[in-house]
Amino acid sequence: MRMWHVIEQVFRWLLIWLYFVAIICFVGATFGVVSHLLFGVFFMEEPDYASQAAFGFSNGIRYGGVWAGGLSIVLCVMRARREFLQQHRESES
């Protein structure tokens, strides 16, 4: 029975990690699109908004993806620590 619990926890933390990765990549892509569109509005004569948005999405997802894996691990460790401390406090009471 203990083995199933370990497998469940591994699967749970993998999904949480993927969730954080997706959020970070989404934020990076959104920031990339917005920043490139604003750059086009303020600094270009006649910007092609579709290509600016596509280029911003590409840059944002690339740079967001660079940070996503490591930052997601850190967020998972922080969350696991919080859950551990909460369970530890409940068991003492």
80: left (phi over 0), alpha (psi -120 to 50) or beta: alpha
Q: Where are the domains of the chain?
A: 22-88
Q: pLDDT tens, 16-73?
A: 999 999 999 999 999 999 999 999 999 999 999 999 999 999 999 999 999 999 999 9
Q: Using an 8 Å Cβ cutoff, are 20 and 75 in contact?
A: yes
**Mean pLDDT, all residues of the chain:** 95
Q: Using an 8 Å Cβ cutoff, are 33 and 61 in contact?
A: no
- pLDDT band, residue 92 (cuts 50/70/90): confident
Full DSSP string of 23-58? HHHHHHHHHHHHHHHHHHHHH-SS--HHHHHHHHHH
Angle (CA) 22-23-27 rounded to 5° is 115
